[in-house]
Amino acid sequence: MPLASTSASIILAAGLGIISAAAAALLPDPSTASALSIVDDNRLRLICVAGSLGGAVMSVMLFQVKTNRELAAKITTSALAGIMFAPMILRYLKWADLTDAILAVSAIVALLSWTVLQSIVPMAANLLKRKAEAALDAKERS
Protein backbone atom coordinates (compact mmCIF):
# COMPACT_ATOMS: atom_id res chain seq x y z
CA MET A 1 0.00 0.00 0.00
CA PRO A 2 1.56 3.33 -1.00
CA LEU A 3 1.97 5.58 1.97
CA ALA A 4 1.08 8.91 0.36
CA SER A 5 -2.15 7.71 -1.28
CA THR A 6 -3.81 6.85 2.03
CA SER A 7 -2.40 9.57 4.25
CA ALA A 8 -4.07 12.93 4.30
CA SER A 9 -1.74 14.08 7.07
CA ILE A 10 1.22 14.22 4.68
CA ILE A 11 -0.77 16.34 2.24
CA LEU A 12 -2.01 18.55 5.09
CA ALA A 13 1.51 19.05 6.49
CA ALA A 14 2.93 19.81 3.06
CA GLY A 15 0.09 22.24 2.36
CA LEU A 16 0.60 24.03 5.67
CA GLY A 17 4.31 24.25 4.93
CA ILE A 18 3.62 25.79 1.54
CA ILE A 19 1.19 28.30 3.06
CA SER A 20 3.69 29.19 5.81
CA ALA A 21 6.49 29.68 3.31
CA ALA A 22 4.28 31.80 1.06
CA ALA A 23 3.11 33.95 3.97
CA ALA A 24 6.72 34.40 5.13
CA ALA A 25 7.72 35.46 1.61
CA LEU A 26 4.97 38.08 1.54
CA LEU A 27 5.86 39.64 4.90
CA PRO A 28 8.45 42.43 4.82
CA ASP A 29 11.97 41.71 5.98
CA PRO A 30 12.32 43.41 9.37
CA SER A 31 15.26 45.75 9.78
CA THR A 32 15.72 44.73 13.42
CA ALA A 33 15.63 40.96 12.93
CA SER A 34 18.79 40.39 14.94
CA ALA A 35 17.31 42.19 17.93
CA LEU A 36 14.18 40.05 17.90
CA SER A 37 13.79 36.39 18.65
CA ILE A 38 12.24 34.00 16.16
CA VAL A 39 9.06 33.83 18.21
CA ASP A 40 8.70 37.65 18.18
CA ASP A 41 9.04 38.01 14.41
CA ASN A 42 6.14 36.69 12.30
CA ARG A 43 8.26 36.16 9.20
CA LEU A 44 10.98 34.16 10.96
CA ARG A 45 8.37 32.16 12.90
CA LEU A 46 6.62 31.20 9.65
CA ILE A 47 9.93 30.14 8.14
CA CYS A 48 10.57 27.98 11.22
CA VAL A 49 7.10 26.41 10.86
CA ALA A 50 7.66 25.73 7.15
CA GLY A 51 11.04 24.11 7.85
CA SER A 52 9.61 22.01 10.66
CA LEU A 53 6.74 20.76 8.53
CA GLY A 54 9.15 20.00 5.69
CA GLY A 55 11.40 18.06 8.04
CA ALA A 56 8.40 16.15 9.40
CA VAL A 57 7.29 15.16 5.90
CA MET A 58 10.87 14.12 5.02
CA SER A 59 10.99 12.04 8.20
CA VAL A 60 7.82 10.20 7.23
CA MET A 61 9.02 9.62 3.69
CA LEU A 62 12.52 8.42 4.69
CA PHE A 63 11.65 6.21 7.66
CA GLN A 64 8.99 3.53 7.40
CA VAL A 65 5.77 3.81 9.38
CA LYS A 66 3.32 0.96 9.80
CA THR A 67 -0.04 2.57 10.53
CA ASN A 68 -1.80 5.83 9.81
CA ARG A 69 -1.95 6.51 13.55
CA GLU A 70 1.84 6.23 13.80
CA LEU A 71 2.13 8.45 10.72
CA ALA A 72 -0.01 11.17 12.28
CA ALA A 73 1.88 10.92 15.58
CA LYS A 74 5.23 11.10 13.79
CA ILE A 75 4.30 14.14 11.70
CA THR A 76 2.80 15.96 14.69
CA THR A 77 5.68 15.18 17.05
CA SER A 78 8.34 16.01 14.49
CA ALA A 79 6.75 19.30 13.46
CA LEU A 80 6.18 20.42 17.06
CA ALA A 81 9.74 19.47 18.04
CA GLY A 82 11.11 21.54 15.16
CA ILE A 83 8.98 24.52 16.12
CA MET A 84 9.84 24.28 19.84
CA PHE A 85 13.53 23.33 19.81
CA ALA A 86 14.93 24.98 16.67
CA PRO A 87 14.72 28.57 18.04
CA MET A 88 16.82 27.63 21.08
CA ILE A 89 19.43 25.88 18.94
CA LEU A 90 19.53 28.85 16.58
CA ARG A 91 19.91 31.29 19.47
CA TYR A 92 22.74 29.18 20.92
CA LEU A 93 24.50 29.14 17.52
CA LYS A 94 23.77 32.88 17.05
CA TRP A 95 22.07 32.15 13.71
CA ALA A 96 18.61 33.44 14.69
CA ASP A 97 18.66 36.19 12.05
CA LEU A 98 19.70 33.97 9.12
CA THR A 99 16.65 32.89 7.11
CA ASP A 100 18.33 29.91 5.44
CA ALA A 101 19.69 28.68 8.77
CA ILE A 102 16.24 28.89 10.37
CA LEU A 103 14.73 26.83 7.56
CA ALA A 104 17.51 24.23 7.60
CA VAL A 105 17.87 23.86 11.38
CA SER A 106 14.12 23.56 11.97
CA ALA A 107 13.91 20.92 9.20
CA ILE A 108 16.86 18.96 10.65
CA VAL A 109 15.42 19.09 14.17
CA ALA A 110 12.05 17.86 12.89
CA LEU A 111 13.70 15.15 10.79
CA LEU A 112 15.72 13.75 13.69
CA SER A 113 13.33 14.35 16.58
CA TRP A 114 11.24 11.17 16.29
CA THR A 115 14.31 8.93 16.30
CA VAL A 116 15.99 10.86 19.10
CA LEU A 117 12.85 10.88 21.25
CA GLN A 118 12.32 7.14 20.70
CA SER A 119 15.86 6.35 21.81
CA ILE A 120 16.47 8.93 24.57
CA VAL A 121 13.14 8.64 26.41
CA PRO A 122 13.46 4.87 27.05
CA MET A 123 17.12 5.30 28.07
CA ALA A 124 16.19 8.05 30.53
CA ALA A 125 13.29 5.98 31.87
CA ASN A 126 15.57 2.98 32.42
CA LEU A 127 18.16 5.17 34.13
CA LEU A 128 15.55 6.67 36.48
CA LYS A 129 14.14 3.20 37.19
CA ARG A 130 17.58 1.83 38.10
CA LYS A 131 18.29 4.82 40.34
CA ALA A 132 14.92 4.44 42.08
CA GLU A 133 15.51 0.71 42.59
CA ALA A 134 19.00 1.39 43.95
CA ALA A 135 17.62 4.00 46.35
CA LEU A 136 14.94 1.55 47.57
CA ASP A 137 17.54 -1.19 48.04
CA ALA A 138 19.78 1.19 50.02
CA LYS A 139 16.81 2.27 52.15
CA GLU A 140 15.81 -1.34 52.88
CA ARG A 141 19.37 -2.27 53.93
CA SER A 142 19.63 0.56 56.44
% pLDDT > 70, the chain: 88
pLDDT band of 36, cuts 50, 70, 90: low
pLDDT band of 18, cuts 50, 70, 90: confident
pLDDT at 33 over 80: no
pTM over 0.75: no
Contact call for residues 110 and 88 (beta carbons, < 8 A): no
Rg of the chain over Cα atoms, rounded to whole angstroms, equals 19
Computed over every residue of the chain, the mean pLDDT equals: 83
